[in-house]
Amino acid sequence: MPYTQSEFLIRFGTVVYHLNPYALPVFLTSLAVLFLGLCMLVRERFSSVANSFFLMILPAAVWLFAFTGMYLAESRDVALWWAKAAYLGLPFIPSAVYFFTIRVLRLYESHWKKASIYFAGSALFSWAFVTTDWMIGDLYHYRWGFYPRYETPAFLYLVFFVGLLTESMRLYWLEYHKTQTDTHKARIRWLVVAFGMAFMACVDYLPKFGIPVYPFGFVGVLGFMGVGTCVMLRYRLVDITPSFAVNQIIGAMGDALLVLDAEDTVQVANQAAYDLFCLPTAEILGKPIPAVIPTFPAKDTAHALERLGTDHSYEIEHARGDGQRLNLVVTESAIKDHKGCIVATVLVLRDMTPLKETQTALREVEHRCDELYRDIPEAIVLLDEFGRFRSVNPAAEKLLGVSESKVAGKIFVMSKLLPPAFMSRMLQVIRSAMEGRQEGPFDLELLTESGGRLTLKAYPRPVHQNGKIAAVQLLLRDTSQDRQFELAIENAKRELMRDVQKRLDEFAKNHEELRAELKKLRLYEA
């Protein structure tokens, strides 16, 4: 007798469901499976393997949840709707298992095309189940509730399902006997055990052909969850090995990387290399290195023996296709086999063009600053942190009457240029400037080699180097020359006034009225 309890009916609008104890474990398993997938995503920080694991869990959760609705359905039409909804997930389980397998076994690069084809096949079967009656023509009604009835074309789906799961197991088997790390070997072994338990779910296909065996496939799913959780907690899904990390390291490198075979043909190139040369993959991989970098010292050049089997660095120039000339520093390393023969060459190329341009610009700035320092008419003396002469510009040499080579390295306050009365003031100025305190201009007297005295106005300023105060600059102005200049101007003005009065006297001596007016203006005196 089919299971019905019409006295426990639940209505959702026009849709009627009845309480069914057979649906409860299926529903709880769907929630547990989904929870496990989410936990894996968080624990593995949304890595590619964790994402593929969740992609495998999701269609299983859809299948179990839809079958829960099918078991609870009171009418055949509602049960058929849920049965077809389950196949939005069921056909994707084998392709998702295969995708997870190539991810966890690190075979994605060589098997991703197959995975794409398998996902396309799953999508085709899903469409056939959901939108047509080719696969599910009607429903059985067993004691646990309604259940789908397969038509003949569904055998193609079963072949696809079982074949793809068998292929996944074959990959696990091959990788298990090939791997060298104990952790990865243990992970594969326990994953095979987990999937073996999950294959118990295949018993759910028997009732679809009229064999009244209770579909306890959810028990296999629970077993998979238990073993899978242990694998996750003990071994995680991924361990870091050199072979696993190499692609990540190469991709993260900021410098361009090229790996050449024994014939100097490019076999490996990272993204930075494509960006550096502005070339697509087809024009780098599989090409001789001279085709990529014409200036590279290849085997048929005179520089071949210089780099043969040695690890060293050198600079080359390269003209890129867009017309830009690059200055490249190449670090070259040889990979040898057990006999010492070179089997590959690793090239790391760094673009030094921006650095070269910056260095050139700095040299130009330094040259201009040096010219300005040498040509400026103001006298400038540079003292280091100990008060020693670091440099004296030509204007200061002329003012002081000494050459830079004669005073370089000498202590200013102990030199014959500074009178004793100004030593304490000079030491205070140097100390304040080195401590970063602002010192205003001050009067200073210096002695020349000829014994004369110079009255100067000194303007101190700290000089920063690498973020620290490294020197004190003194700009010296000869105030005695300023006074002489002022006196010269006064004398010139007096001479000019005498000349003007003389000319006015000659002009107005015969003009009484004009002489009278000039007397009033006090410009002329008789």
The predicted pLDDT at position 504 comes to 67
pLDDT of residue 157: 92
- Residues 281 and 232 grouped into a single domain: no
Pick from 173, 207, 239: which residue ends a domain?
A: 239
Q: Are residues 382 and 276 part of one domain?
A: no
Segment 305-341, tens digit of pLDDT: 455 556 778 888 888 877 788 888 888 888 877 667 7
CA 296 to chain CA mean position, Å: 28
Of 55-69, 269-283, 426-440, where does the model show the most confidence? 55-69
Residue 178 lies in a domain: yes
- What are the tens digits of pLDDT across the range 482-522? 666 666 677 777 777 777 777 766 666 666 666 666 666 65
Best CA proximity match to 458, nearest among 515, 511, 363, 383: 383
The answer to whether residues 372 and 298 belong to one domain is no
Which CA distances in Å does 192 have to 90, 129, 166, 236? 20, 29, 11, 15
Count structural domains, the chain: 4
User: Within this chain, do residues 85 and 213 fall inside the same structural domain, yes or no?
Assistant: yes
- Whether 312 and 447 share a structural domain: no
Q: What is the pTM of this model?
A: 0.49
378: three-class secondary structure by DSSP: coil
Structure tokens at 161: 């399902």
Q: Where a domain ends, among 332, 352, 372?
A: 352
pLDDT tens-digit series, residues 97-108: 999 888 888 788
SS3 (DSSP) at 214: coil
Backbone CA torsion sign across 171, 173, 174, 175: positive
Say yes or no to pLDDT of 221 above 60: yes
340/428 same-domain check:
no
Residue 294 has a pLDDT of 82
User: Which pLDDT belongs to residue 61?
Assistant: 92
Residue 344 Ramachandran class (φ > 0 left, ψ -120 to 50 alpha, else beta): beta
pLDDT computed for residue 479 by the predictor? 72
pLDDT bin (cut points 50, 70, 90) of residue 379 is confident
Does a structural domain hold residue 247?
no
pLDDT tens digits, one per residue of 128-169: 999 999 999 889 999 988 999 999 899 999 999 999 989 988
Provide the domain limits for residue 365. 358-481
| Mean pLDDT value of segment 231-243 | 58
State the pLDDT at residue 274.
82
Is residue 441 domain-resident?
Answer: yes
Q: pLDDT digits over 174-207, tens only?
A: 888 887 677 777 878 888 888 888 888 888 888 9
User: Are 392 and 428 found together in one domain?
Assistant: yes
Query: Residue 86 belongs to a domain with what CATH number?
Result: 1.20.1070.10
Residues 268-290 have a mean pLDDT of 82
Residue 327 lies in a domain: yes
